Chain A
Amino acid sequence: MALRVFKFSSQLDEVEIFDRIQRGDEKALEVVYKKYYRMMIKLVITNSGTEDEARDVYQDALVVFWQKARSGNLVLTSKMSTYIYSICQNLWRKELDRKKRLSNEERDSPDSIDMDKPEREKIIARCMEQLGETCRKVLMYYYFDEMSMQEIADKLGFANTDTAKTKKYKCKQKLDELVKSQYSEQDFLD
């Protein structure tokens, strides 16, 4: 049995990891997550954050990194850790600003928080859960990871791109219907 060992000791390995992430290899993302965990967590903890907040920021940063890498438009001109570190920095800075704004808003007008938006998001999340696993994956790969039909077919073991295309169409239709059945038309107009 062949074992693939991920190492970070050379530039070549980092290139390989990045290449795998670009191709949508989630295992490679896990390797990156583990490797830089302490570094990124420390950034937030030493800047007034808790470990939970740090973990959240780091995971968000990796999601941004993943999406950028997947888009094919990202060319790494620095080390991967430097790049991810800068995303964490900016996300944490934004979070601190958000917290500051929130505390000001609470002081000024405690009733100003819009409760409708999170509720709608919850309903859509519930509809997503009602779809089958394959449908969920097809839609997520298509809309978030921006995978081509060929990539979706390869990843999910479909016979060809036509199957992937049909699956995507039907799954989306199913989700639309589910959402429609749980919403009134007015719910989508703010």
Chain B
Amino acid sequence: MENLELIEKYVTGKLHGPEKDAFELQLQTDTSLQRDLARQKQIINGIKSARIMELKAMLNQVPVGGFMHTGISAVKVITGAVTAGAIITGSLFYFKPWKKEMALPVVENELPAVHKNPKTEVTPVDPKEGKPSSVTSESGKEVKKKSTPSKKRNAVQPKIDVVDPTDELTKEPSHADEKLAKHQSIIVTSRIGIDVNSSSSKYSFHYQFNQGKLILYGIFDNGLYEILEVNGDTHSIFLYYKGDYYLLNEKQAAITPLTAIKDLELVKKLKEYRGR
């Protein structure tokens, strides 16, 4: 078939410029070309699906211990996640790096102290809602009470000591951990519901909040964006995408362009938060 090569180039995104325009023009009227294109799309998708199935079958053969028999230290993850939240909140509010470029509520001149073992309320995902909840430090008020005297603020650098989830892989769970794990769920994901609208021709890299749900506009690579929530006296939300961080205003109901944070100090802190 003469058109086959052209169709294949088109399907695999290798057809550009005038050649692509001419092809699309012909496509509008040529039903035979439409049929061939539809078939080629199906075939190439079929080849891709076959490869995905093959890779998954290969992974299925890899011997792994059953999850339920091995367990993971729940206490450590909970403590780590909450401590991380508190410490990062502390460090972010200590440096107040966004102050230069963003109008967020002003934090009083107090440096939050870090709780070693704060109480945590862990909420499982509501399957009806389909939204994962987040670990939220309830220690906001207590943190304020136990603030460090302001004189020491310049001398003290908040120490970031977050639990690395990979540590779990090398340690056997204790009996107490297993017992706790039965009663508590550990959620370390964002609680915000997210929709991605990639079909809008008008908005290519925008966002809005609609009834508490975050809507991202644009072609976001499959699974490669992250939402970071910082809980403290105020609640801040950041988007991480392709190496840049973006502040998301929860009150922003209008569709707004995403603008990367340029404040290096804030970016550094967010990077540390995310990296751990």
Among A29, A47, A136, A175, point to the contact of B43 (Cβ < 8 A): A175
B127 pairs with A48, CB closer than 8 A: yes
Extra A-B contacts (12), CB below 8 Å, given A34-B62, A39-B169, A93-B131: A33-B59, A33-B62, A39-B166, A47-B124, A61-B223, A64-B222, A86-B224, A99-B127, A100-B129, A121-B46, A125-B50, A140-B50
How many B residues touch the partner, as a band? 35 or more
For A97, the chain B residues whose CB sits under 8 A away are 130, 193
B99 an interface residue at 8 Å Cβ cutoff?
no
The 3 tightest CB contacts between A and B, nearest first, are A124-B46, A96-B130, A188-B38
- Interface segment among A77-85, A107-115, A150-158: the answer is A77-85
A188 pairs with B130, CB closer than 8 A: no
Among A39, A91, A140, point to the contact of B165 (Cβ < 8 A): A39
B274 pairs with A180, CB closer than 8 A: no
Among A41, A86, A176, point to the contact of B4 (Cβ < 8 A): A176
- Chain B contacts to A: CB under 8 angstroms: 1, 4, 8, 12, 34-35, 38-39, 42-56, 58-60, 62-68, 70, 72, 124-132, 165-166, 168-169, 185-189, 193-194, 221-226, 243, 271, 274-275
CA–CA, A55 and B67, complex, Å: 10
A67-82 contact mask (Cβ, 8 Å, vs B): 1 or 0: 0100000010111011
A6 an interface residue at 8 Å Cβ cutoff?
no
Task: List, sorted by A's number, 15 A–B pairs whose CB atoms are closer than 8 Å.
Answer: A26-B58, A29-B58, A38-B67, A43-B189, A47-B132, A48-B124, A51-B68, A55-B60, A62-B59, A77-B243, A96-B130, A120-B42, A140-B54, A176-B4, A180-B39
B35 pairs with A139, CB closer than 8 A: no
- Chain A contacts to B: CB under 8 angstroms: 8, 26, 29-30, 33-39, 41-43, 45-48, 51, 54-55, 59-64, 66, 68, 75, 77-79, 81-82, 85-87, 89-93, 96-97, 99-100, 120-121, 124-125, 127-128, 136, 139-140, 143-145, 172, 175-176, 179-180, 183, 185, 188-190
CA–CA, A60 and B125, complex, Å: 21
For B47, the chain A residues whose CB sits under 8 A away are 128, 139-140, 143-144, 175
Among A45, A143, A188, point to the contact of B44 (Cβ < 8 A): A143
Given A46-B186, A100-B130, A30 contacting B169 (CB threshold 8 A): no
For B64, the chain A residues whose CB sits under 8 A away are 33-34, 37-38
A90 pairs with B225, CB closer than 8 A: yes
CA–CA, A143 and B68, complex, Å: 38
Closest to B11 in A: A143
Closest to A98 in B: B130
Interchain nearest-CB distance for A6 vs B (Å): 13
Among A29, A48, A144, point to the contact of B51 (Cβ < 8 A): A144
CA–CA, A100 and B187, complex, Å: 20
A63 pairs with B125, CB closer than 8 A: no
CA–CA, A36 and B169, complex, Å: 8
CA–CA, A100 and B126, complex, Å: 11
For A176, the chain B residues whose CB sits under 8 A away are 1, 4, 39, 43
B38 pairs with A78, CB closer than 8 A: no
CA–CA, A136 and B165, complex, Å: 39
For A140, the chain B residues whose CB sits under 8 A away are 47-48, 50-51, 54
B46 pairs with A127, CB closer than 8 A: yes
Closest to A26 in B: B58
For A78, the chain B residues whose CB sits under 8 A away are 274-275
For A35, the chain B residues whose CB sits under 8 A away are 169
Given A26-B58, A41-B67, A47 contacting B189 (CB threshold 8 A): yes
CA–CA, A180 and B55, complex, Å: 27
A188 pairs with B35, CB closer than 8 A: yes
Given A39-B166, A59-B59, A189 contacting B50 (CB threshold 8 A): no
Closest to A103 in B: B128
Interchain nearest-CB distance for B235 vs A (Å): 19
Interchain nearest-CB distance for A95 vs B (Å): 9
